[in-house]
Structure 1
Amino acid sequence: GGRGKTTLAQLLYNDGQVKEHFDTNAWVCVSEQYEALRVIQTLIEEITKKPCDNLGMNSLEVQLSEQLMGKRFLLVLDDVW
């Protein structure tokens, strides 16, 4: 830690040319104690700007796939251990 990786990633993620290049983007902070279901749920919520509570893993995977299929996308998983 402490090497400026997140800062560099944020600069690129927020750059106008980078945003124009991708159809969809999402930034999710992943803690040391993460749950895959919660990470996918947060990705979907970042992409759709809508809550997606009470869905099982299979439904979340299908929904994420549908949101990204055929699109150029940038997904940042920050602070992954």
Structure 2
Amino acid sequence: MSQIDKQSGGEKEMRFEEAFKKLQEIVNSLESGQMPLEDLLQKYEEGRRLLKICDEKLNEAEQRIIVLSAKQDNGGGAKEN
């Protein structure tokens, strides 16, 4: 599978926890300083893709929370003083 296939397929459906764990592993390997430049660049690119996935998942979760909070506020519930 090519890098483009990964971007358009499997990684887009990756769960936040899985993407975050892989991102942490990449950060740890980059911080080790024991990697050839070409490998470092490849890991950096993969890390950027995973970061984008995590960011999108967090934004989706935030939007869902906003919608649920708005529904709760409009549905009666507790009154503010």
TM tier relative to shorter chain? under 0.3
Provide TM-score, normalisation by structure 1. 0.25
Higher Rg: 2
Q: Which is helix-richer, 1 or 2?
A: 2
